[in-house]
């Protein structure tokens, strides 16, 4: 299902099905790293950490810290909460690193921890969000959505979309952020959110309609 998005060029990712095989560690010698393993890849650092070189975890924090913080800061209300939750994400990931089996990429696994952590926090706040009736979105077309989001002033478009997204419930906002801001595929979003791929596509379609309704209401207020 096309979402009509305007996205930056896709970054080539390492294969997501690179499974980690844990080797026995003895005091006599450290395990050999696979000759086929890409040096300084996530898998490389994870194997070093599992071999006892805990300082290597800082390399993963450096690699993903800014991205995780960016996602969480757009989902929670304050900078203090974003910083605290970001630290919590990396602490959780470190404590549960042995549970990472390589069935997805490490970044997808880490984003799932961040997603669940941020969603859990927003639910505690019990903030009220704009209620949109089913009748308001059922007849909205993709052409209408594209027209509403396709204004010529890019900075103005970003400003309006950011304001509109603040009216979305956390689960909806997270999917939009992952797809448009974090450049995640539908398959990756499914793994991160725990939804099926078909459910992600359906939810994304409905969320875009909700944004159209919110943008229209914002325009009426401005007038």
Domains of the chain, by residue range, sit at 42-125, 134-222
pLDDT above 60 (res 8): no
For residue 150 the two structure tokens come to 């396709």
Residues in Cβ contact with 108 at an 8 Å cutoff, skipping those fewer than 6 apart: 16, 188, 191, 192
Residues in Cβ contact with 215 at an 8 Å cutoff, skipping those fewer than 6 apart: 148, 149, 160, 161, 164
pLDDT greater at residue 35 or residue 88: 88
pLDDT above 90 (res 23): no
Query: Whole-angstrom Cα distance, residue 92 to residue 39?
Result: 25
On the question of a common fold for 42-125 and 134-222, the answer reads no
pLDDT greater at residue 151 or residue 74: 74
Question: 107-134 b/e with 16+ CB inside 10 Å = b?
Answer: bbbbbbbbbbbbbebbeeeeeeeeebee
> What's the pLDDT score for residue 33?
47
The model carries a pTM of 0.74
pLDDT above 70 (res 86): yes
pLDDT greater at residue 159 or residue 27: 159
The mean pLDDT of 141-158, rounded to a whole number, is 71
Q: In the structure, what pLDDT confidence band is assigned to residue 27 with cuts at 50, 70 and 90?
A: very low
Query: Whole-angstrom Cα distance, residue 31 to residue 26?
Result: 8
Fold observed for domain 42-125:
Rna Polymerase Sigma Factor; Chain: A (1.10.1740)
When mean pLDDT is compared across 22-26, 58-62, 184-188, the lowest value belongs to 22-26
> What's the pLDDT score for residue 46?
95
Fold observed for domain 134-222:
Arc Repressor Mutant, subunit A (1.10.10)
Q: Tell how far CA 52 is from the center of its chain.
A: 29
When mean pLDDT is compared across 13-17, 139-143, 169-173, 210-214, the lowest value belongs to 13-17
Query: Whole-angstrom Cα distance, residue 95 to residue 54?
Result: 11
């Amino acid at each position: 299902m096309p979402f009509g998005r305007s996205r930056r060029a896709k970054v080539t990712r390492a294969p997501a099905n690179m499974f980690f095989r844990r080797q026995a560690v003895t005091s006599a010698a450290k395990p050999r790293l696979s000759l086929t393993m890409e040096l300084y890849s996530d898998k490389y650092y994870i194997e070093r950490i599992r071999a006892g070189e805990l300082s290597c975890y800082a390399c993963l924090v450096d690699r993903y810290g800014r991205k995780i913080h960016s996602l969480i800061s757009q989902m929670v209300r304050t900078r203090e909460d974003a910083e605290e939750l970001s630290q919590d994400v990396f602490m959780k990931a470190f404590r549960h690193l042995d549970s990472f089996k390589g069935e997805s990429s490490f970044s997808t696994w880490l984003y799932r921890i961040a997603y669940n952590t941020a969603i859990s926090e927003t639910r505690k706040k019990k903030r009220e969000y704009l209620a949109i009736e089913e009748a308001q979105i059922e007849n909205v077309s993709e052409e209408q959505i594209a027209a509403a989001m396709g204004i010529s002033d890019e900075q103005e478009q970003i400003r309006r979309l950011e304001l509109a997204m603040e009216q979305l419930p956390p689960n909806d906002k997270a999917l939009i952020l992952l797809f448009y801001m974090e450049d995640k595929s539908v398959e990756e979003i499914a793994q991160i959110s725990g939804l099926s791929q078909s459910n992600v596509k359906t939810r994304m379609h409905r969320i875009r309609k909700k944004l159209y309704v919110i943008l229209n209401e914002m325009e009426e207020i401005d007038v």
